[in-house]
């Protein structure tokens, strides 16, 4: 780990390391001492299983590989993972990084209620030859449960109702409604995860490694790399040599000094890794009016355009073509912006990075004095969504929004140290990605504020906690749409389009209730037709 350009903050970081040493931080983490973070052990002592979960999963590698062989031999061509947040982002990163090995099924991660996205997946697969992973820690999450009902009906039509369970696998905690459903429906398999692991810390458990095994990723090597990092985070001679503690100390210390926009750049082969870091850091630290704002996927601009509220972290994979990221690193060094460079040998070192960032985030929580394992504000959006659905059931319509602020009006309220969060409730496509990249670039260059971007409802299970529980420095732009094609949910009095609309309006209402600055742009000409108008507002 190379730390450069810390300059005026060196003394602060050293002081924090000295304090953590006095507190015996590493020893107490391994002893699962909740008082590192809070006096109350609730959702701490029963959320530290991620520290040692690789010991359990290593003993299951052969069984997971055998199950993957069984799935291949039975002719499954696709694996579709139905999950949200911690159940989906790790597998999504691993799929984008490694893809499927030769002869293994393709993995599609479906963490969306947008009707066009559901239909796009439907068009790709043959339900009779698709294995569906229903992945949920609690077993009560509305998105995967709704998606299960939809795909169950398609599979039943293709193979017969009595054979439907053979195309489904559950990944969940013990004694959840999903575990009970899997038993009733005679799912092909059920993987019961250790209950002492929170969703965002679960990538090295069954939630991340079952889908990885099914597409032929070498999970044994991933675990080897994770265990190597775990050893380094346990046995380092000093805190400054401990890769997890050092990163967490820099993150936490600089955030406490106002440099709370953790801006990530990566080598090409791990370009999606920021999706996972985003959820881990945002949901763990964004509470009690504090938080680290992870900035992933933002286009690089000339350093003079950035504000003075950023810490840059660059993850460089040695085996990649690194001309682009090396240019970023050089410009950041020359500019004096605070910079950390993490040097990674190859893509399989993601196993090590998963653990390093989990450990670092726990340490950053201790530095900031917050509870990194709960998510107290997530429930607000869920309750608001349910209220929207109830109103739709009674009136046949979703309620109207009272947000009249324009995008330009929202930007006029930007202050130094703010960030703009754009939440888009349309199907993810390269076209939309490109437009959002251009939008973010213009915002940074003209307003010097950091930008984040998320597709709804995915971001609700990622950055949603930070938006409502973190510092009141966010400007929130919702982009919603009238869906030209909708999809009914079997057994439910609402469709996917209604559910997506309720989630958007529910979160908007929750943010307004939390006193956040909010604007909404509604697209009435299909999913993406009016997005360029937002760009035109910027000139």
- Two tokens at 208? 């991340």
127-162 as b/e: b if 16+ CB within 10 A: bbebbbbbbbbebebbbbbbbbebbbbbbbeebeee
- In CATH, which of 1.10.10.60, 1.25.40.10, 3.40.50.10490, 3.40.50.2020 is domain 378-537? 3.40.50.10490
Write out residues in the chain with pLDDT < 70, as ranges.
Answer: 1-4, 525-530, 538-539
At 30 the pLDDT is 95
- Two tokens at 446? 């003209």
Q: What 3-state class would DSSP assign to 287?
A: strand
- Two tokens at 4? 């450069």
At 234 the pLDDT is 94
How do 78-82 and 130-135 pair as beta strands? parallel
For the chain, give every domain's residue range: 2-31+225-368, 51-217, 378-537
Same fold, 51-217 and 378-537: yes
- What H or E segment, with its residue span, contains residue 132? strand 130-135
Burial of 462 (0-12, 13-18, 19+ CB in 10 A): buried
At 482 the pLDDT is 87
How do 450-455 and 339-344 pair as beta strands? unpaired
The CATH architecture to which 2-31+225-368 belongs is: 3-Layer(aba) Sandwich (3.40)
Return the closest-CA partner of residue 84 out of 7, 171, 17, 9.
171
The CATH architecture to which 51-217 belongs is: 3-Layer(aba) Sandwich (3.40)
Mutual orientation of helices 142-159 and 115-124 as an angle, nearest 10°? 30
- Compute CA distances 82 → 2, 146, 432, whole Å: 38, 9, 23
At 532 the pLDDT is 75
At 405 the pLDDT is 85
At 529 the pLDDT is 60
At 161 the pLDDT is 95
């Amino acid at each position: 780990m190379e730390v450069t350009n810390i300059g005026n903050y060196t003394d602060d970081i050293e002081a924090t390391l000295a304090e953590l040493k006095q507190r015996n931080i590493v020893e107490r983490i391994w002893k699962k001492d909740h008082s590192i973070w809070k006096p109350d052990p609730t959702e701490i002592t029963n959320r530290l299983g991620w520290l040692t979960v690789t010991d359990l999963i290593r003993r299951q590698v052969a069984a997971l590989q055998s199950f993957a062989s069984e799935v291949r031999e039975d002719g499954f061509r696709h694996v579709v993972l139905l999950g949200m947040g911690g159940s989906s982002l790790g597998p999504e990163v691993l799929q984008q990084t490694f893809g499927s090995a030769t002869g293994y099924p393709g993995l599609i991660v479906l963490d969306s209620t947008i009707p066009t996205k559901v239909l796009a997946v439907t068009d790709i697969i043959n339900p009779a030859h698709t294995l569906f992973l229903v992945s949920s820690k609690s077993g009560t999450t509305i998105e995967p449960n709704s998606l299960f009902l939809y795909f169950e009906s398609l599979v039943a039509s293709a193979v017969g109702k009595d054979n439907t369970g053979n195309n489904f696998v559950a990944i969940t905690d013990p004694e959840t409604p999903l575990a009970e459903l899997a038993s009733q429906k005679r799912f092909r398999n059920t993987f019961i995860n250790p209950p002492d692991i929170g969703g965002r810390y679960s990538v090295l458990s069954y939630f991340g490694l079952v889908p990885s095994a099914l597409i032929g990723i070498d999970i044994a090597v991933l675990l080897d790399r994770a265990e190597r990092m775990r050893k380094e985070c346990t046995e380092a001679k000093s805190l400054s040599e401990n890769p997890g503690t050092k990163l967490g100390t820099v993150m936490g210390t600089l955030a406490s000094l106002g440099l709370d926009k953790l801006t990530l750049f990566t080598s090409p082969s791990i370009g999606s890794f920021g999706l996972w870091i985003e959820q881990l850091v945002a949901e763990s630290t964004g509470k009690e009016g504090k938080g680290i704002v992870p900035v992933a996927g933002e286009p690089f601009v000339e350093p003079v355009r950035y504000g003075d509220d950023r810490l840059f972290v660059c993850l460089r994979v040695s085996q990649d073509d690194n001309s682009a990221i090396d240019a970023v690193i050089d410009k950041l060094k020359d500019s004096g912006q605070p910079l950390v460079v993490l040097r990674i040998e190859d893509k399989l070192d993601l196993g090590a990075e998963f653990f390093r960032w989990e450990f670092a985030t726990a340490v950053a929580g201790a530095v900031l004095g917050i509870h990194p394992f709960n998510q107290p504000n997530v429930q607000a959006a869920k309750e608001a969504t349910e209220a929207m659905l109830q109103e739709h059931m009674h009136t046949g319509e979703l309620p109207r929004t009272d947000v009249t602020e324009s995008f330009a009006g929202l930007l006029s309220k930007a202050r130094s140290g703010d960030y703009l969060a754009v939440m888009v409730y349309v199907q993810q496509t390269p076209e939309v990605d490109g437009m959002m990249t251009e939008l973010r670039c213009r915002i940074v260059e003209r307003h010097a504020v950091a930008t984040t971007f998320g597709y709804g409802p995915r971001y609700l299970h990622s950055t949603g906690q930070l938006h409502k529980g973190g510092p009141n420095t966010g400007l929130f732009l919702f982009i919603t749409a009238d869906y030209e094609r909708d999809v009914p949910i079997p057994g439910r009095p609402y469709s996917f389009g209604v559910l997506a609309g309720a989630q958007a309006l529910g979160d908007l209402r929750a943010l307004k209730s939390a006193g956040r600055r909010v604007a909404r742009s509604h697209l009435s000409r299909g999913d993406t037709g009016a997005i360029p108008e937002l760009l035109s507002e910027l000139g």
